[in-house]
Amino acid sequence: MNLPLTFHLRDCEQTEQFGSVLGDLLRSTSSHPGAIVVLLSGDLGAGKTTLVRGLANGLGADDTSVASPTFTLRMDHRGCDRPLVHIDAWRIGPGDLESIGFDELLAGNAVIAVEWPERLADALPDRSIRLRIEHAQALEIKAMGASAQVGELDEENQTERSVVVDAVGFDDRQRRRIGEGLSLLVKASLIPLPCCPVCGKPPAGESSPQAPFCSPRCKLADLGDWLLMRHRIEGNEAPEFDE
């Protein structure tokens, strides 16, 4: 199955299990030679450190020693075949990467998990596993066109999350291996990615005037269907319009 993929994680256990499967898929230095950067984006409390704990488990490291490295900036964990390095970029910027030995890490074979990668801008390598974690309830609110802060969410729903995973800069074989492994081994529901309602391709971004279509051409094609009365409302023989 091709990347990107989106999973619905019902609780912390499924979040860790997702990380563990991903860690196991990245464990082989022959299948994925060199350092691998895993970028974890998401709001405060979205589950980034929980997922890194699973990543450590999949790499054969001591997952009980994984904690948010906000004050130490970098934490190293010994894995079976390759180490895990956990970096929190909340308090640093691109100019601080040299002081934590980032270039040396890229020259090795570690899996480098970076929380808050947005703060490092273009200083990160193009080749990376990218994870976007969001609270499930926040996604529902966004879908309704509203906005919410994490603190406004119901506490009982804050363990439900979605994670979008993609592999950028990897060859097709590596992307396919990661995508198929996750889809087969992760014990969580796959969420279909949104698609253009006309052609089925990935839609334009949310901020694009073409959304949810992929292009102006598909947007016009859909408008043409309405004008030519080709659309049908379920349960009705003909389309209905407000007077």
Q: Are residues 153 and 82 in the same domain?
A: yes
Contact (CB, 8 A) for 22 and 9: no
Q: Are residues 182 and 101 in the same domain?
A: yes
Q: Are residues 218 and 141 in the same domain?
A: no
Q: Are residues 94 and 163 in the same domain?
A: yes
Q: Are residues 241 and 145 in the same domain?
A: no
CATH number of 209's domain: 3.30.50.10
pLDDT at position 71: 72
pLDDT at position 216: 85
pLDDT at position 146: 45
pLDDT at position 235: 46
pLDDT at position 79: 92
Please give the residue range of the domain that contains residue 95: 5-191
Contact (CB, 8 A) for 96 and 88: no
Is 218 in a helix, a strand, or coil?
helix
Q: Are residues 37 and 117 in the same domain?
A: yes
Cβ burial 94-126 (10 Å sphere, 16+ → b, else e): eeebeebebeebbeeebbbbbbbbebbeeebee
pLDDT at position 206: 59
Interhelix angle 12-26/48-58, rounded to 10 degrees, is 40
* Number of folded domains that form the chain: 2
Contact (CB, 8 A) for 124 and 105: no
Q: Strands 74-77 and 84-88: what pairing?
A: antiparallel
Scan for tokens 């309830």, then name that residue.
137
CATH number of 25's domain: 3.40.50.300
Q: Are residues 9 and 106 in the same domain?
A: yes
Mean pLDDT for each 10-residue chunk of the chain (243 residues)?
89 94 94 94 89 96 84 88 93 88 94 94 90 74 46 52 93 93 92 71 67 80 72 48 43
According to DSSP, residue 223 is labeled H
- Which has the closest alpha carbon to 7: 47, 57, 65, 59? 47
pLDDT at position 138: 56
Rg (CA), the chain: 21
pLDDT at position 193: 63
